[in-house]
Chain A
Amino acid sequence: MTAAGVFADLVDQDAVVADLRAAALAAADQLRGGPGTGMTHAWLFTGPPGSGRSSAARAFAAALQCPDAGCGHCDACHQVLAGTHADVRVVRPAGLSYGVKETRSLVLRASSSPTSGRFQVVLFEDADRATEAAANALLKAVEEPPPRTVWLLCTPAPEDLLVTIRSRCRLVRMRTPSNRAVAELLVRREGVDQRTAAEAARAAQGHIGRARRLAVDDEARTRRLAVLDIPGQVDTLGSAMLAAADLVQAAERDAASTSGELDEAERTALRQAFGEGATGKGVQKAVRGAAGALKELEDRQKSRATRIKRDSLDLALLDLAAFYRDVLAVQFGADVELSADPARVRAVAGASSPETTLRRLDAVMRCRRRIAANVHPQIAAEAMTTALFTG
């Protein structure tokens, strides 16, 4: 790694890196018995999706565990970055929400002493998924922290968390990285050529993970192009409805392919844990007892599948929204970098008025809100595509 150590991969976040580095040094000072000014026990990483909130938090966790404040090549750094460090617990809610029961056990674990003698770090990605009760349970832990425990919470915006938690955290604001910086990262890390990298960076609009997917994964590129076909497709009511159906089906396939294999493996593992396939006295009774646990597992899996489906759909909707933003920019003659194929954007821009484009943008954003509010995805998508059709 370069001289930047664990912070090397934070794209275009110089101010944040300087802050975190200073805090890591202060933390080391604290461990030596110094005052440790500049370190605190609770951090809130915020920033637009894909700006690298959790990567920043992870790098900071590594810097805290590293005797060299984040050298990037010692055991501690490697273990944290690989997710195997004993004193760094990463929480990534897979379902639609994160419940109070899970939070309480998390709080309990977080209050134990660090095994390595440095810090007990809890990295909570997507902390906005915590339910209200869960957030309150978390508040108690953040309010009166054990001396060596550090909480790293990640949310898109500070407002996504309870105000009482927010006020006890030090805020780290990530900014949207520039397309140039993202493209550079793609060339350096993924080894893709300049043109592909630049294209992916433009399409992803500052979302690093998405840019990486678009740069290396043909499937993701094809999907994006299919989504961007929609504006040209919705010329009749029937085709608008079919476009909605395609959109939802693609999301369902995503959910099925990601969770399908996982689901079966988890179910088998659970049944085995309850003694299925074993012989001996009492086995049958034990296997029957698995029914309750199995039901609970299936509920969790269902929640996870719904979340994958919604996330996948949301990605497509954001692509669509970006497309209409481009259209609007062209219609107003604004000189900005277009995220999509300029020829297609100009075709749509020439065929409609800015008012129509704004109404269409509204329809896309309304669809996102509705899906988040639990409206049946197909109904929401149909309302959107038919609104794109009527203009």
Chain B
Amino acid sequence: MSGAPVPAVCVVVGDEELLVERAVARIAAAVREEDPTTEVHELAPGTFHPGQFAELTSPSLFGERRVVVLRAAQDIVKDMVPGVLAYAADPADTAVLVAVHAGGAKGKALLDGLLKAGAHRIDCAKLTKPAERLEFIRGEFQREGRSVTRNVAQTILDTVGSDLRELAAVCAQLCADTEGRIDEAAVARYYTGKAEVSGFTVADRALEGNLPDALEQLRWALAIGTSPVLITSALARSLRGLAIAGQPIRGVGEGEVAKRAGVPPWKIKSIRQQARHWTAHGIAHAIAVVAETDAQVKGAGTDPAYALERAITAIVAARR
């Protein structure tokens, strides 16, 4: 951002905290570059009044620059909105207003008003796709002047999890601790294991009949604190998909079958593949096992982990 003048009004839109922090810090740094005496003022909703906002944004006696950060702009009280919008339409040249907005429907009027007044928009939405996270990891290394392969980035993602703050910290740590190339061995020296295993991974392995893998994934899932209830519900959901969508239903389209089974349409093909190893009675038995296990993990048994292991063994055994 250095070089170009900082826009007088910015909105940082999104709920990914780390990215929001960085965007705000970047703006503040850019303004400081122009004027090292710049003061940064943080305003949170509920703690400031209209007068304070006007005071901070109006030109000061000594002409020093200010950055006014309006935190959680979606939560500010209604009476304040016109004041902020009026300022945004005619900003002072000594102050930079940064409104941080979580996105979403709350306080949308303020966001739209600011954008209409010509505010500079910076998007910081949560990363949802794995590919975006991999990109983020590689970007982190690039910031430090290092580079990693896709596989290394994937290893980091697997072992650390998807929280961006943690990922950023891990990347910085790896850069500081490792000389030369950062490869999978270097990552493995500091980080091992699995950070995120969903119940569905466990269920998929079990339905495929891969007992050792299913049990391993189950242990990982429990070790990182996945609730046993989520695992039984994932098992139930997968079995439901298998029972309903496993065989084509006469006179019913694929899309409708997927809807009834509660699975995404693209999954039908892999479900049919799984279904070749299952009989109707086998599935019925597996469903009975899951129902009993759900009771066990909800207090009818003493050890949820044991109940789940038994369930997975029984489910694998129920295959053809």
Contact = CB atoms under 8 A, between A and B. Distances in A.
A379 B299 CA distance: 16
Given A241-B243, A373-B299, A379-B291, A386 B283 contact: yes
A383 B288 contact: yes
B294 A238 contact: no
A383 B291 contact: yes
Interface string B211-247: 0000000000000000000001100100010011011
Interface string B239-277: 010011011010000000000100000000000000000
Interface string A222-240: 0000000000000011101
Nearest to A388: B284
A319 interface: no
A386 B284 contact: yes
A265 interface: no
A43 B280 CA distance: 53
A382 B291 contact: yes
B288 A370 contact: no
A224 to B, nearest CB: 24
Contacts of B298: 373-375
Interface in A359-391: 370, 373-376, 378-380, 382-383, 386-387, 389-390
B290 interface: yes
Contacts of B283: 237, 386
Interface string A170-214: 000000000000000000000000000000000000000000000
A241 B280 CA distance: 11
A242 B288 contact: no
Contact of B290 (A238, A245, A383): A383
B295 interface: yes
A237 B284 contact: yes
Interface residues of B, number: 26
A238 B244 contact: yes
A301 to B, nearest CB: 22
B233 A241 contact: no
B241 to A, nearest CB: 10
Given A379-B290, A382-B291, A383-B287, A241 B240 contact: yes
B86 interface: no
B300 A238 contact: no
Given A370-B291, A383-B288, A389-B284, A376 B236 contact: yes
Contacts of B247: 238
Interface in B72-88: 77
B237 to A, nearest CB: 9
A382 B287 contact: yes
A238 B290 CA distance: 17
Contact of A376 (B77, B287, B288, B294): B294
B165 interface: no
Contacts of A376: 232-233, 236, 294
A132 to B, nearest CB: 15
Interface of B: 77, 232-233, 236, 240, 243-244, 246-247, 249, 260, 280-281, 283-285, 287-288, 290-292, 294-295, 298-300
Given A375-B291, A378-B236, A386-B288, 12 more contacts: A240-B243, A241-B244, A242-B260, A374-B295, A376-B294, A379-B232, A382-B240, A382-B243, A382-B291, A386-B243, A390-B280, A390-B285
18 contacts: A237-B243, A237-B246, A238-B247, A238-B249, A241-B243, A374-B299, A375-B298, A376-B294, A378-B236, A379-B236, A380-B291, A382-B291, A383-B287, A383-B290, A386-B284, A386-B287, A387-B284, A389-B280
